[in-house]
Chains A and B, each alone.
Chain A
Amino acid sequence: MSSIKKALLQSPVPFLVAKRFRGKINVQKPRKPHFERQLLLDISKPFYGPPKNSLPDIELCTNKSTRFAKREIDNPFERILAKECLDWFNTSKMVVFLHVNSISMEDKTPIFAALKKNDMHLRTYGKKIVSMATKGTRYEVINQLFTSHQNVIFGQPENAAKMFKILRKTPQLVVMGGIIQDKLLSKNDLVEYSKLPSLDVVRSQLCSVLQSAGSCLVGQLNQNQQMLVSHLEKHIEIQNKPTDNASTSTESES
């Protein structure tokens, strides 16, 4: 910019430029300021507040301590953690809540590793995060469990038996309850669920139960005929036996 100025001819500009020359200054009819100037003026106007005699006494107190009033600060990191927690709840079909007694990370890490090998994830979330995550969702009842120290295991329902086997080794981690396929189960229910055989086996058992009515009827209808047939067969056998004995004895004689 300055190089362009050097190339062009510069007209002489005075150092001081006069604003006013004598005359009366206009105070009573000021002209309307530019929009932006008016904006700045409005922003910088002083604010004096209501008069002190119209306020209730509590606001006049000079001893207000903000220490006791808990200010609720919106923390974006907490929101992120709450969202992550809710994602875990939604994506895992099995969620198990554990009560944690005093345990060192040295003892906890093998459990964490063993669970991870079986496709289960042991995670810790605080009470505030979980309450933020579950507010308004169907998981809201969980907040009752989060009163002391607790951990959560997220996984799939097939691994329930393995989970109990792994947790048996640490008495410090205690199963309190769980959610399996959107159903809240108590500890005893969870144990029973883990003892059930796999879904295919149970389905086959159901099929056999449904079939049993028909097959029972068929069996009963055929019972008499089958008994008759079996008696006749035995009869034939008995009849054939003495003739066999007779033939063998004659052969030995000869």
Chain B
Amino acid sequence: MSIPYSGTIRRSGGVVSAIGKQLRGVNLKAAKRITVKFDPFGENVTHTRNFLHYLSSPKIILTNPNCSLKTEIVCDRSEPTIDIALVPSIAETAKLNKVTFKSGNLTCLELLQLLNKHISSLAPEDQITNTIQTKLEKKKGKKK
């Protein structure tokens, strides 16, 4: 009498690979402006700062060059927040104006997961543009 198999076949790679997986799925096309506000002397700002560092990487900025990332430093011991203002056309369809994360008690991974859930899902799909055909390709087509 054997116990049926339970558990995973593959082991997880840890927090770092989970963060990497989320980062690969980030799409900022729906965001117009991201403002990250934190107090540097606060105790719970590590994850916000790490999140900010990931968001400012060139690969993620390339998904939407028009989205501006702004960092604000406050000195009044307030909780760290991340405000994302949506692009007006998408704000109309989704009936949201902006999304706010209160990141005092959220880890970096959770922040990225929420970002993907709320912002990346609203990103408009890429439209396939007509590619220019080279002469060689045209000849090949004609021969066929």
Contacts and interface: CB of A to CB of B under 8 A. Distances in A.
A145 B41 CA distance: 6
B41 A144 contact: yes
Interface residues of B, number: 18
Q: Which of B54, B58, B71 has the most CB of A within 10 A?
A: B71
Nearest to A187: B73
Contacts of A172: 56
A91 to B, nearest CB: 24
A148 B49 contact: yes
Given A171-B70, A176-B40, A101 B52 contact: yes
Chain B's interface: helix, strand, loop or mixed, by majority?
A: mixed
Contacts of A103: 56
Number of chain A interface residues as a range: 20 to 34
A155 interface: no
Nearest to B108: A148
A99 B49 contact: yes
B46 interface: yes
A172 to B, nearest CB: 6
B53 interface: yes
Contacts of B53: 100-102, 148-149
Contact of B49 (A147, A175, A177): A147
A167 interface: no
A147 B46 contact: yes
B75 interface: yes
B17 interface: no
Nearest to B57: A102
B100 to A, nearest CB: 20
Contacts of B75: 186-189
A103 B56 CA distance: 8
Contact of A171 (B41, B45, B58, B71): B71
A187 to B, nearest CB: 5
A174 B72 CA distance: 8
B50 interface: yes
A168 to B, nearest CB: 13
B39 to A, nearest CB: 9
A102 B56 contact: yes
Q: Which of B40, B41, B54, B73 has the most CB of A within 10 A?
A: B40
Contacts of A188: 75
25 contacts: A99-B40, A99-B73, A100-B53, A101-B52, A101-B53, A101-B69, A104-B58, A144-B41, A144-B43, A145-B40, A145-B41, A147-B49, A148-B49, A148-B53, A149-B53, A171-B69, A171-B70, A171-B71, A176-B73, A177-B40, A177-B41, A186-B41, A187-B40, A187-B73, A187-B75
Interface of B: 40-41, 43, 45-46, 49-50, 52-54, 56-58, 69-71, 73, 75
Given A144-B43, A147-B45, 11 more contacts: A97-B40, A99-B52, A101-B56, A102-B56, A144-B41, A147-B46, A148-B46, A171-B69, A177-B41, A186-B75, A189-B75
